[in-house]
Amino acid sequence: MLAHVGPDGNSGPGLNLFKVSPVFLEESIKCYLLPDSMTTHSPSPRAAAIGIVLHWLESGLFPQREVGGDTPDYGMVLELVQGTVRRCRTLGAVQDWLVPRKPARTVEAALLVGLYQVFYQPNAAAHALVNETVEAARAVAGKGAAPLVNAVLRRALREKDDLLKRMQSLPFAIRLSHPDLLVERWRSRWNADAVEALCDWNNQPPHVTIRLCPSAGPAAEFRDRLASDGIMATAHPEAGDRWLQLPRGVAVTNVTGFESGQITVQDASTRWAVALLDPQPGERILDLCAAPGGKTAMIAERVAEPGVLVALDLHADRLALLRGTLRRLRHDGVRVEQADAQDPDALVLLEGAPFDRVLLDAPCTNTGVIRRRPDTRWRFSQERLKRLLGTQRKLLDAASSCVKPGGCLVYSTCSLEQEENEHQVSSWLETNPSFIAESSRCVIPPGGGTDGAYAVRIRRD
């Protein structure tokens, strides 16, 4: 359950108490998860977005996983859902200015989605914005919701300039729509300008970045093929010409080379862990916590027979994702296993053990990928951090047992938190003197133009 952070910066009951018709919610989500033939009707994009946002606020589950399906409205629904989640703290403050009395929770949900469009979608037509959001509110909350939603959105449009100025005077964390806890942690490490730049980065819709696999051929020729299809991709400014950024709104599944396995969706920050691992042809490699499989594929491209690459994950849904990635990219030789990577006995039984190199891409708080997963900021807590630190320590213990003498272990996260990165590794090394840290890489957005990432190579004597 997500705790609501109010405009005063305090936590308490609020957005997580939204109520919605179970029938409407089921239909709103189902139509974006199931094939069209299995649904009876489709709500409008705005109504679907309100239903998904409500479900997130009530359950704390991952909202973007509920925006599925290959439908014409997919991009609009995703933008409304992620944008509202991303800006919900700022929007909550504006809503409090405009609504003198606390509205019903379903009405509040519709207001947040509507206010997101007013303040963060400057190209949205005012007439359509108001009318269609009002109709969506009526579908979700009943006809009694329409007058209030209509009045508030029209007032917000009339007073938009004054409200924008007032938003700029909000306290730092509310204005930037981040929880106080994260902002305070970051400001203890970096100056205010750096923290604001990081928060601004987190609040921008991300580009879709693709990596060109070797089968894609020369990068320049591949970009020409995209251009002939009307897709003007650009080389990543830091990662080189085999990492391309797609224009916003392009469905990657329709891009040339996707189905044939020539490209994969992957942020350029992922390259550092594989670079530090430095897999060589013929070696035995173990990839722990491998889903969704982007790093696994990069390793597979460099490990040829008689080399062995074993990719492991725990959960069935994650394994399905991993297998799907490897199948599409034509890496049939990778051995995919289901096992608990925290269990040293389970890892020792894997074929190939001990391994020349082990990659441990550890579960973490994900604070380096908030731009892509906007709900991550609202899930961060000291309690969750503490639990993850314990899991990471167990994973390090188990992974290290699979490294042969002279071999190496790469530990990586997509976290910005030192407890999960430098402090975790230095603490572990103190009790494991046969291992030595050799080199590391830490990327803090917006530097590098990528997600945040940390990776360190540890050598076994």
The stretch 52-73 carries a mean pLDDT of 70
Distance in angstroms (rounded) separating the CA atoms of residues 371 and 279: 30
Q: Are residues 167 and 220 in the same domain?
A: no
pLDDT for the residue 333: 94
Beta-sheet pairing, 208-212 with 4-5: unpaired
Question: Could you list the residue range(s) of the whole structural domain that residue 86 is in?
Answer: 4-171
* Residue 299 shares a structural domain with residue 445: yes
As a whole number of angstroms, the distance between CA 9 and CA 5 comes to: 6
CB 16 within 8 A of CB 58: yes
Alpha-carbon span 406 to 356, nearest angstrom: 8
Does residue 199 have an active-site annotation? no
Beta bridge partners of 453: 443
Judge whether 368 lies within some domain. Answer: yes
**pLDDT single digits (tens) 239-257:** 999 999 999 888 898 899 9
Q: Is residue 202 part of a domain?
A: no
Q: How far apart are CA 74 and CA 36, in angstroms?
A: 13
Q: What is the mean pLDDT of residues 172-195?
A: 98
Instruction: For residue range 263-320, list pLDDT tens digits in order.
Output: 999 999 999 999 999 999 999 999 999 999 999 999 999 998 889 999 999 999 999 9
Task: Please indicate, yes or no, whether residues 240 and 386 belong to a single structural domain of this protein.
Answer: no
3-state DSSP call for residue 313? strand
> Does 183 map to a domain?
no
Do 52 and 147 have their domain in common? yes
Distances (CA, A) of 44 to 50, 68, 249, 350: 10, 15, 19, 50
Q: Is residue 196 part of a domain?
A: no
Claim to verify: residue 452 and residue 305 sit in the same structural domain: yes
Q: Are residues 83 and 138 in the same domain?
A: yes
DSSP letter at 354 equals S
Last residue of a domain, one of 120, 142, 171: 171
For the chain, what is the domain count?
3
Element (H, E) at 70: none
Least confident span in 57-71, 309-323, 394-408 = 57-71
In this structure, is residue 244 part of a structural domain?
Answer: yes
**Whether residue 443 sits in one domain with residue 300:** yes
| Rounded distance between C-alpha atoms, residue 419 and residue 388, angstroms | 10
The confidence band for 348, taking pLDDT boundaries of 50, 70 and 90, is confident
* Domain presence at residue 278: yes
Residue 203 lies in a domain: no
Tell whether 148 and 55 lie within a shared domain. yes
198 in a structural domain: no
Which of 197, 232, 265 corresponds to the end of one domain? Answer: 265
Q: What is the pLDDT of residue 23?
A: 37
**Shared domain check, 278 and 261:** no
Last residue in a domain, options 222, 243, 265? 265
CATH number of 453's domain: 3.40.50.150
Cβ of 38: how many Cβ atoms within 10 Å?
9
> Which tokens belong to 250?
């392009």
Question: Same domain, yes or no, for 440 and 377?
Answer: yes
Q: What CATH number is given to the structural domain containing 68? A: 1.10.940.10
> The CATH number of the domain where 250 resides is what?
3.30.70.1170
- Shared domain for 108 and 23, answered yes or no, is yes
Catalytic pick among 31, 88, 402, 414? 414
- Smallest CA-to-CA distance from 366 within 381, 349, 351 is with 381
Counts for the chain of helices (H) and strands (E), in that order: 19, 13
The answer to whether 53 and 112 are in contact (CB under 8 A) is yes
Q: What is the pLDDT of residues 110-121, one digit of tens each?
A: 999 999 999 999
Residue of higher predicted confidence among 308 and 352: 308
Same domain assignment for residues 239 and 286 = no
